[in-house]
Amino acid sequence: NTRQRGTHAVVGVGTIKAPLHCPGYQALVGMNQDSWGWDLGRNKLYHKGVNSVYASTQYPSSSSLSPTTTSTLTDPADALNNNGISYPSKSDDCFVVPDKFYVVLDLEEGTLAYIVDGQYLGVAFNDLKDKGALYPMVSSVWGHCEITMRYINGLEPEPLQLMDTCRRVIRKRLGRTNLHLINHLTLPTSLRNYLVYQ
């Protein structure tokens, strides 16, 4: 339920150095240089949020779909991370993020974006390419908040092997509810084990 997110529900990514706890009511994800996040209640992007005039950006914005810079930026790094930039467009203060949405992390391009109700909102953050390992992060200050994250897909920076592609096709064809039927396929045991990631 979108009303049960608390006052500082933020979703994004962070490095291993990103803090996992903080006192008080704060947007933990995006509060320093080691994390990037979208505050779902305020529709703002956060990066280097502590003591930064340019820390938060309205998201989604009411301008065009592509981000536009403002004249108040003084740090080039702020431009790369959309601090001070309206993002994305066609939104207003009443924009409500539904219970389910997608976080899109493209490590080849070094970008973080979001998809809401099937609409790609554009790049929220750039310049994530050389930050090292990035981990999904969620913060909320509401004590009874329940959050579920599900990894959907990822691609290696090389073509998938034929075996991986075949396994994916077979598992998809069977469907999630029929995966137990793999043991009944007339295949060698080693192949059946491969299909169930053993």
Question: What CATH number corresponds to the domain at position 45?
Answer: 2.60.120
Structure tokens at 82: 């959309």
In this structure, the answer to whether residues 46 and 65 fall within a common structural domain is: yes
**pLDDT tens-digit series, residues 6-15:** 778 899 999 9
In this structure, the answer to whether residues 126 and 175 fall within a common structural domain is: no
Supply the DSSP symbol for 185: S
The full DSSP string for 91-111 is --TT----S--EEEEETTTTE
In this structure, the answer to whether residues 119 and 148 fall within a common structural domain is: yes
In this structure, the answer to whether residues 191 and 141 fall within a common structural domain is: no
In this structure, the answer to whether residues 129 and 38 fall within a common structural domain is: yes
In this structure, the answer to whether residues 65 and 86 fall within a common structural domain is: yes
Asked whether the beta carbons of 34 and 59 are under 8 A apart, the reply is no
**Residue given tokens 């990035």 in the structure block:** 134
Number of domains the chain contains = 2
Of 41, 35, 42, nearest to 12 by C-alpha is 35
pLDDT of residue 147: 82
In this structure, the answer to whether residues 80 and 167 fall within a common structural domain is: no
Structure tokens at 91: 């939104």
CA distance 191 to 146: 38
In this structure, the answer to whether residues 132 and 37 fall within a common structural domain is: yes
174: helix, strand or coil: helix
In this structure, the answer to whether residues 140 and 94 fall within a common structural domain is: yes
**pLDDT tens-digit series, residues 126-184:** 889 989 999 999 998 877 777 888 888 776 666 668 888 888 899 889 988 998 899 89
How far from each other are the two terminal CA atoms of the chain, in whole angstroms? 37
Domain range enclosing 133:
1-153
% of residues, the chain, pLDDT over 90: 23
Predicted structure pTM score: 0.63
**pLDDT tens-digit series, residues 101-128:** 999 999 888 999 998 888 888 888 988 9
Asked whether the beta carbons of 115 and 121 are under 8 A apart, the reply is yes
